[in-house]
Chains A and B, each alone.
Chain A
Amino acid sequence: MASRDLLYRLRLFRLVVILLFAILLGNLFYMTVPQNRHYKDQALENRQIRFRVRAPRGKILDRTGELLADNMFIADITLPVSCLEGDVPDSTLVLLMDWFDLDAGETLDRLRAQRDAERNRLVLVTNAPLGQITAVEERRRQLPGARVETRPRRRYHNKGLFAHVIGYVGEVGQEEIGPPGRAGEYRSGDMIGKQGIERAFEADLRGVSGVKLEEVNASGHIVGRQAVWVDEVVPGRDVQLTLSLELQDAMADILAGQTAGGVAMSCRTGEILAAFSSPTFDTNLMTTSITPEQWQGLVNDPAKPFFNRILQATYPPASLYKVVSSLAALDKGVVGKASRLEPCYGGWQLGDRYFRCWKPSGHGDVDHADALVHSCDTFYYQVGLRLDIDELAAAARSFGLGAPCSGIFPEEVRGLVPDSAWYDEHYGSKGWSRGVLLNNAIGQGELLVTPLQMAVLAARLGSLGTVPAPTFVVGQEDVATLSPLPFSIQDLQWVRSTLGEVVSRGTGKAAGLADVPVAGKTGTAQNPHGEDHAWFMCFAPAGDPEVALAIILENAGHGGSEAAPLAGRWLRTYFDGARPGASPALPLEANRQVLP
């Protein structure tokens, strides 16, 4: 036996073994001591998942505290992004597509789109039915990664009753999220106010989403007993409208079946009490997955339910505008309260053009008051001729026409009050004549107003200019600036009392109430495309008005016969007990403290 040889091999073998074990031990030490922190963090990262928790959106209440919009909870079935590793569905996804009978191609496309939008979890089923939720919860072990997640969803009570005021929420678009990597406060899948109060008060209603850490096991199921909140959820603030559910209901009731808009406003506080656009649509459809048929139905409806006939639709003010013409003429001293101009024989000849009065047989010899009471166009043609176009426009603007007056809705339109500069710009300085004054004086021509503007006009006239700017929300801070009316109090009082006569003995008789004196003005807007639009604006009680109202019925015909009776019906409801208390209202600051 060559024992020296053997000893050599023993030593070499032993050396190799000790060397190998030294490497193993050295590496173990390196991992467990200098790198311990790193691996501990990784272990923590392994089992801790950050969850972003959406804040519940603030509720929307009517002036009496009636709930108009709040949140319900729906459940989504979600999967981790890794369920599509390399575009191949993992076993969980394959199982769920099979159990829920989902079309593989369509589902995978949908999930891929979500993944590309950098979502951290993919939504397989939105608003999952109970059966699917139970299936996932009961078979968790077969479905690593799958989770049922609840999230708040907007719910509008009263369906479409407040559609054009409250608006609706929808999923945020890419422009609101911001570019990848530099995302703002919104994340894909969040809801954002798209229209109306929901959009105008987004910052208040939204609240602040929170972040919590949950401990999960390897399958992604939550196993930790308690979540750690990194950022607490701040719920959205509630918003209380100045509108009343009951008065809004009454407004919807009188406008039902019409293509119409109606706005009611307090003459004392400026609060909007009702504002309805007909036809309307169920805003709940907008927060869910509206079916293509439903969407096409709404979009293609000739009555255009999405169109906001409170503050987006504009019409010629027609005879309602005679109030403005009268006040401008009185103010400039070109026509007196008792003035009699040339009698009305059914129209007025100016140059080679004959301007008709609405009453073909004519009003005969009328004074200023009678002209307003019976809405004599011939009289106002002559008033117009005595005025300068810029004087008339200034009078209209002093009432707030030609400018947005809600203070909060970006979708509101201005309307149009043409003046000489406007005519110069559009027709050239030689391209128009004083003839435009004839049309302007009776509220036709290029003049355009919204129903909201006419309600404000009625309220300001009724309150002799004392009513504050209109508000839709209790404690609303952003309001339109209304300049004081430039007319003498006597002139205003005269016009106001004359409007009382419009209802007591003139064109607005149909709006009269037995027990409450009503003052108002009818209008019939000429419509080159079809039947005329019927206008009516009013306030009551006539001597010391509480409430003002303006309604327009598209293609309905005469204001006096069509719109006035509806206004009367609404006022009836108002004075029969639906009239709101003085002011609901905590100012918004106090509101903020009361509602978390």
Chain B
Amino acid sequence: MRWLALAFPPGDRWIFAAWLLLCLASLAVLWSVTEPISGPYEGQEAGVAKGIFWRQVVWVALSFVALSLAARIRMRALENLSLPALLVMLLLLAAILVLGPKIGGSRRWFLLGPIRMQPAEFAKISFILAMAHLLGRAGEDRKSLTATTATFFLMVLHMVLVMREPDLGTSLVFLAAWIGMVFWYGIPGILLVGAGSAAASSVMMFISESVLDGQPWPWGVYILLLIGVLYLVRISIPAKVTLLAVNLATGLGIPFFWAKLHGYQQERILTFFDPSRDKFGSGYQAIQSKVAIGSGGLFGTQYLQGTQKGLAFLPERHTDFIFSVVGEELGFLGASAILALFLVIILRGLEIAAGARRPFWRYLAVGVVSYFTFHVVVNVAITTGLLPVTGLPLPLLSYGGSNLLTSSILLGILLNVSSRSFDT
């Protein structure tokens, strides 16, 4: 039995079990997606080639190896690797903007023979490693904001490069990881309140300007409320003034930012607020995905029987919208089970982060948790119509080697941290 124990990666058993179950679930759903629908539908082909399934089988096997390696590598080596890896990935991200072939209007992939390699995916690993390294070395002197500012620019650099591809969804992952890790590092509460209220101000102004066509009341009411709250709370006058100024600036800046967005990006955001705007474009995806999940009901249509999937109404059903297939065929219960598995990874990850003995390990764990939280919450929110459509895979479930490898390596790192924190 000793060899069997050796085959498994060390560290948290729950997380590894969740990884394994999610990979198996992915294969099961991809099998369904590549099968012609059974029942009374003659001559309807699956629309997604069976090869997709077999490729994913290979990717799962490779990911197991990657996860095992990441779980066993010495932490010192990992930390030493972080800065060179960061540089290499930044170079690749820059290079792809020039050298990458244009596929579907964007430059996201390098073609390596039969496979596509997406540098932005692997850059998530190097970014989290570098962030952990920088925050870990900064020690506990949080008031100075040196580390926060430095990592902020690193994050913005990644976002800008990826957004140029363009790939809005992936670029936001860097923001999410940064917020999570910096939060763990510790930043003054006033900054969090400032950032949060600035975001709220932007959304309100956006609703006023673009959704309601210039009716000023949502943003106006928000600003009046903010002034009221600021009058009541007991913080210093300069802090109050700064908060109000930041809110005014972001709110008034939104129309200019809006004008800078690409037409299709504006359209997607507007379509989110009113999907019937574009029944055949991105609104179509949102509508069909909701129909798939909603029609699945409590128990689903049964495995292999989904008509939204089988009759090809559901777009991107093997990649970004794979969760809709789960909802249609396995119902609320199946979808909840998938969410529960992700929740296991995230909550166990938080425990690991809290229990890690060294700062570098701690920030690594938080980075991984932030990564999963963002990907899962945003992807599921998109497929259920809570957020506008943007390209973002569901980790471990969506078809695609780059993201599966990235997610598995990150989980391996989490296992690595857990094995060192609890076992020794």
Contacts and interface: CB of A to CB of B under 8 A. Distances in A.
Interface in B318-370: 327, 331-332, 335-336, 339, 343, 346-347, 350-351, 353-354, 366, 369
Interface magnitude class on chain A: 35 or more
B226 interface: no
B41 A224 contact: yes
B180 interface: yes
A590 interface: no
A47 interface: yes
Given A32-B327, A219-B312, A39 B291 contact: yes
B311 A24 contact: no
B259 to A, nearest CB: 23
Q: Which of B43, B44, B140, B327 has the most CB of A within 10 A?
A: B44
Contacts of B41: 215, 217, 223-225
Contact of A226 (B40, B291, B331): B40
Contacts of B288: 46
A158 B118 CA distance: 72
A43 B332 contact: no
Q: Is the interface of B mostly helix, strand, loop or mixed?
A: helix
A194 B216 CA distance: 61
B312 A33 contact: no
Nearest to A39: B294
Contacts of B294: 31-32, 35-36, 38-40, 42
A85 interface: yes
Interface in B268-320: 280, 288, 290-298, 307-308, 311-313
A1 to B, nearest CB: 9
Contacts of B184: 9, 13
A39 B336 contact: no
Interface stretch (A14-22, A118-126, A180-188, A412-420): A14-22
A21 B377 contact: yes
A42 B291 contact: yes
Contact of A27 (B43, B180, B386): B386
Given A5-B186, A31-B384, A39 B290 contact: yes
A32 B296 contact: yes
A33 B40 contact: no
A218 interface: yes
B217 interface: no
B213 interface: no
B231 interface: no
Interface string A22-52: 0111011101110110111011001100000
B398 interface: no
Given A21-B377, A24-B381, A36-B294, A224 B350 contact: no
Nearest to A42: B291
A136 to B, nearest CB: 16
A85 B381 CA distance: 29
A216 B294 CA distance: 20
Contacts of B180: 13
B146 to A, nearest CB: 19
A362 B340 CA distance: 120
A28 B43 CA distance: 33
Interface in B175-192: 180, 183-184, 186
Contact of B377 (A24, A35, A47, A226): A24
Interface magnitude class on chain B: 35 or more
A47 B311 contact: yes
B419 to A, nearest CB: 20
B183 A9 contact: yes
A582 interface: no
A69 to B, nearest CB: 37
A40 B307 CA distance: 10
A47 B313 contact: yes
Given A13-B184, A17-B346, A216 B311 contact: yes
A7 interface: yes
A338 interface: no
A82 interface: yes
A28 B335 contact: yes
A7 B350 CA distance: 10
Given A17-B350, A20-B373, A42 B295 contact: yes
B386 A20 contact: no
B377 A14 contact: no
B380 interface: yes
A38 B297 CA distance: 11
A6 interface: yes
Given A24-B377, A47-B307, A217-B44, A31 B293 contact: yes
A25 B291 CA distance: 16
B332 A29 contact: yes
Interface string B368-401: 0100010001001100101000000000000000
Contacts of A17: 343, 346-347, 350, 373
Nearest to A35: B294
A10 B350 contact: yes
B141 interface: no
A2 interface: yes
A9 B192 CA distance: 13
A85 B350 CA distance: 49
Contacts of A39: 290-291, 293-295
Given A31-B384, A36-B294, A223 B327 contact: no
Nearest to B362: A6
A2 B140 contact: yes
B308 A46 contact: yes
Given A28-B293, A32-B293, A218-B313, A13 B307 contact: no
A503 to B, nearest CB: 73
B384 A28 contact: yes
Interface in A527-574: none
Q: Which of A10, A24, A36, A224 has the most CB of B within 10 A?
A: A24
B331 A32 contact: yes
Nearest to A215: B41
Interface string A137-166: 000000000000000000000000000000
B240 to A, nearest CB: 24
B57 to A, nearest CB: 27
B67 to A, nearest CB: 22
B42 A27 contact: no
A298 B143 CA distance: 97
Contacts of B386: 23-24, 27
Contacts of B380: 24, 28
A65 B233 CA distance: 99
Interface string B108-129: 0000000000000000000000
Given A32-B294, A32-B332, A225-B42, A85 B311 contact: no
B232 to A, nearest CB: 23
A43 B292 contact: yes
Nearest to A31: B294
Contacts of A28: 293, 327, 332, 335-336, 339, 380, 384
A218 B284 CA distance: 11
Contact of B290 (A7, A20, A31, A215): A31
Contacts of A14: 347, 350
A10 B355 CA distance: 10
21 contacts: A9-B183, A9-B184, A20-B377, A23-B386, A28-B336, A29-B332, A31-B290, A32-B293, A32-B294, A32-B331, A33-B297, A33-B332, A39-B290, A46-B313, A47-B313, A215-B40, A216-B311, A223-B41, A223-B42, A224-B40, A226-B40
Interface of B: 40-44, 140, 180, 183-184, 186, 280, 288, 290-298, 307-308, 311-313, 327, 331-332, 335-336, 339, 343, 346-347, 350-351, 353-354, 366, 369, 373, 377, 380-381, 384, 386
Q: When A and B form their complex, which 5 residue pairs have the shortest distance between CB atoms, in order from nearest? A: A39-B294, A218-B312, A217-B311, A32-B332, A43-B295
Given A9-B186, A31-B294, 5 more contacts: A10-B351, A13-B184, A24-B380, A28-B293, A32-B298
Interface of A: 2, 5-7, 9-10, 13-14, 17, 20-21, 23-25, 27-29, 31-33, 35-36, 38-40, 42-43, 46-47, 82, 85, 215-219, 223-226
